[in-house]
Structure 1
């Protein structure tokens, strides 16, 4: 029987089709990785994203964290307050601007991020091992491009 439905490859040959396929694939992977979070981790995905930013880029102001996560500063203040109350971050006054505070990752926060990353990285490493070397090379080349897309305005 002849199918009139276009193949994934045919759809992805256009920019709009590629956008659609990437959106679906990235969202499914994100959901799957979210399922692999450490079972003892009670923090939200948003709170974990803040801890991840601090782990990757070091100390940040509330404004910098809000911009990176594309949320309003009052929303980020609430997230940071919860993280501080849980002992995951530490706030201190900005060295030159008394109106700002700087947020740092605590030892507890660092441990949570590392445990969560280890678990999810282990799952993804197992899945990557099932791919061909050529497929892994394509993903290796795509990873920084996907990160750039995620950072774009």
Structure 2
């Protein structure tokens, strides 16, 4: 049976539907694991998904301008300004002068921001590892073979 509850067709379209649903469910489940707060807890001060995504984008792409970050995250600059201000107030992001344009600033993740991201990734990977442990060795072997293929699809 497919994730949609129907017999999985052998066509590429049927596989596309099943993968879309399964990947969306897994992604949603991982996202709903409560993001950690800057002080390491899971209190009301936890980062929103937008704040966490912006912090992670800055870690992957160091020294972005606020405009570049807004464009990367596909949000309006005023919204990103609020996100950056919050991250800066929490000590997760710092501003530095732009090397060539005095009107601009560059954004960088602080060590506290990198630590928060690493903790969050460890929590999500621990959850996923526990879930993988519930699978049979054969199912895990199939997923091990599928992981590079899914990565390839994500880059197409």
Q: Which structure has greater helix proportion?
A: 1
Q: Corresponding residue for 2:63?
A: 59
The match for 1:134 is 142
Q: What is the aligned counterpart of 1:112 among 84, 98, 116?
A: 116
Cα distance, 1:109 vs. partner?
A: 0.9
Q: Is the 8 A contact 1:38 1:119 kept in 2?
A: no
- How large is the Cα RMSD of the aligned pairs? 2.2
Structure with the bigger RCO (C-alpha within 8 Å, sep 6+) is 1
Number of the residue aligned with 2:23: 26
Distance 2:132 2:110 in 1: 32
Unaligned runs of 5+ in 1: none
TM-score, normalisation: structure 2: 0.77
Shift of the 43–62 alpha-carbon distance from structure 1 to 2, 3 Å rule, reads: same
Question: How many residues are matched?
Answer: 141
Which of 11, 14, 23 is matched with 1:13 structurally? Answer: 11
Q: Identify the residue that residue 48 of structure 2 maps to in structure 1.
A: 44
Does 2:148 match 1:143? no
Would the aligned equivalents of 1:128 and 1:136 in 2 still touch at CA under 8 Å?
no
For residues 59-96 of structure 1, the C-alpha deviation after alignment (integer angstroms, 9 at most, x for no partner) is 21112211221112221111111111111100122111
Dislocated runs of 4+, deviation >4 Å: none
Equivalent pair of 2:35/2:48 in contact (CA under 8 Å): no
Aligned equivalents of 1:73, 1:116: Cα separation in 2: 26
List alignment gaps of at least 5 residues for structure 2.
none
- Secondary structure of the 1:132 match is helix
